[in-house]
Amino acid sequence: MNTFKKLDEFEVLSFDLDDTLYCNKKVLFKAELELFYWLNHNFKISKQYYLENISLIRKNFLENNMFRNDLTLFRLNCLIILFEKLGFTIKKSKLAAHKALEIFLFYRNQIVVESDIIKLLSSLSMKYILISITNGNLDIGQTVLNKFFQYNYKSGKDGRAKPKADMFELAISELNIKPSKILHIGDSYVDDVIGSVSCSMKSCWINLKQEKLNTNHVITPDFEIKNILELKKIL
């Protein structure tokens, strides 16, 4: 654990979700797999056709900077285009895409949170106000995490994706609190550290990949830890 600055007392803990509180890669892999099974069963779409076409559609959207602030809208529109390429009318493509998205989101919300992290959040929620700020599309209300968080902010619905200031500033405004009283915790240096510090919040970087800060990193976190459980050493 590294400490870069002296911290004053704070009242709110702000958490990123994906890969901060659970392994998101496994969740997305399962959700993508179940989506493909559904597409194959209902529309006889082969694995090769799906992978080749969905990759090209996503690449086109990303290159044109479309839907980058709303992952749910991004996935929905990718699926609409996929069905249109299969020869569906626009109306039928939208209907099929919405159903496919329901399948994906159901499994996307099936996160597995380690028991030690649940205990940590339970303990912290008794002392601090907990909020979440995420670029992902997890519906926290459908998960075990819901009972710990009082406010939840999601890109798209609540503004542009991190590191843009929208969600951080919205949280500060709704909580009616000085930003220095909020500690934001996340695994992305760019999205979480730069995003929160730029809004005058305090920051804790969960450096999962053991990246090295150098002179190019003008903004530094208040804390740097290797995993979420090290928060116990700070708090």
Q: pTM surpassing 0.75?
A: yes
pLDDT above 90 as % of the chain: 85
pLDDT bin (cut points 50, 70, 90) of residue 1 is low
For residues 132 and 155, the answer to whether their CB atoms sit within 8 Å is no
What is the per-residue pLDDT across 185-234, written as a single tens digit (0 to 9) for each? 999 999 999 999 999 999 999 999 898 887 677 789 999 999 999 998 88
Domains belonging to the chain, first-starting first, are 2-22+113-234 (3.40.50.1000), 25-108 (1.20.120.1600)
| Peptide bond before residue 163 is cis, with ω within 30 degrees of 0 | yes
CA distance 69 to 162: 9
What sign for the dihedral angle of Cα 182, 180, 198, 194?
negative
| Enclosing H/E stretch for 203 | strand 202-206
Pairing of strands 202-206, 182-186: parallel
The phi-psi region of residue 191 (left if phi > 0; otherwise alpha if psi is between -120 and 50; otherwise beta) is alpha
pLDDT bin (cut points 50, 70, 90) of residue 79 is very high
What is the per-residue pLDDT across 11-28, written as a single tens digit (0 to 9) for each? 999 999 999 999 999 999
pLDDT for the residue 3: 57
pLDDT bin (cut points 50, 70, 90) of residue 40 is very high
CA-based nearest residue to 12, from 154, 125, 144:
125
pLDDT for the residue 8: 58
What is the per-residue pLDDT across 152-161, written as a single tens digit (0 to 9) for each? 999 999 999 9
